[in-house]
Amino acid sequence: MRPRPPFPASPDGWFCVADSDELTPGEVKAVRYFGRELVLWRTEGGEARLADAHCPHLGAHIGVGGKVLGESLRCPFHGWRFDPTGRCVEVPYARRIPPHAALTLWPVAERNGCVFAWHHAKGGPPSWEVPVVPEWGSEAWSAPVRRKFRVRTHCQEMAENVVDDAHFRYVHGTHTMPKSTARIDGHIFRVTSISMVGTPRGETEGRIEIASYGFGFGITRFSGVIETLVVITGAPIDDDWSETTLRFMVRKLASEDATKGVGRAFVAEIDRQFGQDIPIWENKIHLPRPLLCDGDGPITLLRRWARQFYSGLSEVPEAMGVPLET
Ligand code: FES
Ligand SMILES: [Fe+2]
């Protein structure tokens, strides 16, 4: 059996648990992320909420048959009702509500068309925010096109892909290797990657700017020939599986047809590359001490940045296997 990476499956941070347009007011859903059964709902007033799925009364899964009543959520088993803070506000057949009857709520934030949940191995509160993407909803940009993938790998393995310069040539068949530089900016990992792009008028420099906010949210901006953007979100599902969603946008060109054409080609290319990465991710192992060479991208720096998201590990530097002084 493939050994698991030597760090927790669910890092700390904000992770996308739903697309906003897939959770309508009054809707209740059973979802599974972070190796946990969860209930996700939207109140009739429009607030998204996430809680541990099982009712504190007798353990029903509230995501299976639960109902939104105004701003509250009703358990399908015996009708206990919980307010948006998780507190039980009604037991329809009892005179007294048991003290401490409450759902365990998760911190939730909604922006850029996504519902994010904050996961922290030690239950710590959010220590940073998911930024608003200024292009999202802008008239100057096309509406996002979405692609969702479920992959049998850890989200850090997927994150390492963007700074793995050499694989672009050998996995994706690009004829030159990009040159990436990266820096750690607190919880943000910033990468600038330059590569040569073939156009009908010859080769030109393509520039990629990537900002990863932990492992659950990232923005990748492509400029040079045409301006495009990918908003990337993800979440660990359990010990083995991760989910990633890519949302593609194009800065509008002079004609709608041209914008659509570029958008289609862009989605097809990233789709192709993602499809090529999946068999590598699903079969590789995580080497805590990889044998890196000078042409490899800033993989060591990414691993150093990643340590801050593993509060659940007692000996992070040892387990991550990256020397502190590199
Ligand atoms: S199990 Fe939820 S009300 Fe009884
Ligand atoms: Fe790749």
- DSSP, residue by residue, 271-315: HHHHHHHHHHHTT----SS----TTS-SHHHHHHHHGGG-TT-SS
Ligand nearest to the CA of 158: 2
Which of the 8 DSSP states describes residue 104?
A: -
State if residue 75 touches ligand 1 by the CB under 6 angstroms criterion: yes
pLDDT tops 50 at residue 324: no
State if residue 58 touches ligand 1 by the CB under 6 angstroms criterion: yes
State if residue 55 touches ligand 1 by the CB under 6 angstroms criterion: yes
| pLDDT tens-digit series, residues 12-42 | 999 999 999 999 999 999 999 999 999 999 9
Q: How far apart are CA 299 and CA 284, in angstroms?
A: 16
Q: How far apart are CA 224 and CA 190, in angstroms?
A: 18
Closest CA to 315 of 22, 6, 3, 109: 6
- pLDDT at residue 2, rounded to an integer: 87
Which of the 8 DSSP states describes residue 65?
A: T
Compute the average pLDDT of residues 263-270.
89
State if residue 60 touches ligand 1 by the CB under 6 angstroms criterion: yes
| pLDDT tens-digit series, residues 223-263 | 987 899 999 999 999 999 999 999 999 999 989 999 999 88
pLDDT tops 80 at residue 76: yes
Which atom number of ligand 1 is nearest to the Cα of residue 79?
Answer: 3
Of the listed ranges 153-157, 170-174, 285-289, 322-326, the one predicted with least confidence: 322-326
State which CATH number among 3.20.20.150, 3.90.380.10, 2.60.40.1260, 3.40.50.2020 fits the domain covering 145-304. Answer: 3.90.380.10
Contact 319, 288 (CB under 8 A): yes
Computed from CA positions of residues 162, 167, 173, 177, in that sequence, does the dihedral angle turn out positive or negative?
Answer: positive
State if residue 287 touches ligand 1 by the CB under 6 angstroms criterion: no
State if residue 307 touches ligand 1 by the CB under 6 angstroms criterion: no
Q: How far apart are CA 227 and CA 97, in angstroms?
A: 57
ipTM metric: 0.97
Q: How far apart are CA 282 and CA 270, in angstroms?
A: 18
State if residue 114 touches ligand 1 by the CB under 6 angstroms criterion: no
- pLDDT at residue 219, rounded to an integer: 98
% of residues, the chain, pLDDT over 90: 82
- pLDDT at residue 174, rounded to an integer: 86
Q: Kindly indicate whether the domain formed by 13-119 is annotated with CATH number 1.10.760.10.
A: no
Contact 212, 197 (CB under 8 A): no
Structure tokens that stand for 161 in this block? 């892909």
In this structure, the number of other CB atoms found within 10 A of the CB of residue 247 comes to: 21
Which atom number of ligand 1 is nearest to the Cα of residue 55?
Answer: 2
Please, what is the average pLDDT of the chain?
Answer: 93
- pLDDT at residue 316, rounded to an integer: 52
Ligand nearest to the CA of 94: 1
Closest residue by Cα to atom 1, ligand 1, is 58
What distance in angstroms lies between residue 314's CA and the mean position of ligand 2's atoms? 31
pLDDT tops 60 at residue 326: no
Structure tokens that stand for 64 in this block? 């299976």
Q: Report CA-CA distances (Å) from 205 to 144, 178, 224, 319.
A: 25, 10, 6, 39
- pLDDT at residue 93, rounded to an integer: 97
Compute the average pLDDT of residues 117-132.
97
Closest residue by Cα to atom 4, ligand 1, is 78
State if residue 77 touches ligand 1 by the CB under 6 angstroms criterion: yes
Structure tokens that stand for 17 in this block? 């648990």
pLDDT bucket at 320, cuts 50 / 70 / 90:
low
What distance in angstroms lies between residue 57's CA and the mean position of ligand 1's atoms? 5
pLDDT bucket at 198, cuts 50 / 70 / 90:
low
Ligand nearest to the CA of 77: 1
pLDDT tops 90 at residue 321: no
Strand order in the sheet with 72-74: 67-69, 72-74, 81-82, 88-90
What counts of helices (H) and strands (E) characterise the chain? Answer: 5, 17
What distance in angstroms lies between residue 58's CA and the mean position of ligand 1's atoms? 5
The end-to-end CA distance of the chain, in Å, is: 31
Q: Which residue in this structure is represented by tokens 């059996």?
A: 1
Ligand nearest to the CA of 82: 1
Q: Report CA-CA distances (Å) from 26 to 70, 89, 170, 187, 301.
A: 8, 18, 48, 34, 44
Domain ranges of the chain: 13-119, 145-304
Helix (H, G, I), strand (E, B) or coil at 147: strand
Closest residue by Cα to atom 3, ligand 1, is 78
Structure tokens that stand for 120 in this block? 């922290």
Helix (H, G, I), strand (E, B) or coil at 165: helix
State if residue 57 touches ligand 1 by the CB under 6 angstroms criterion: yes
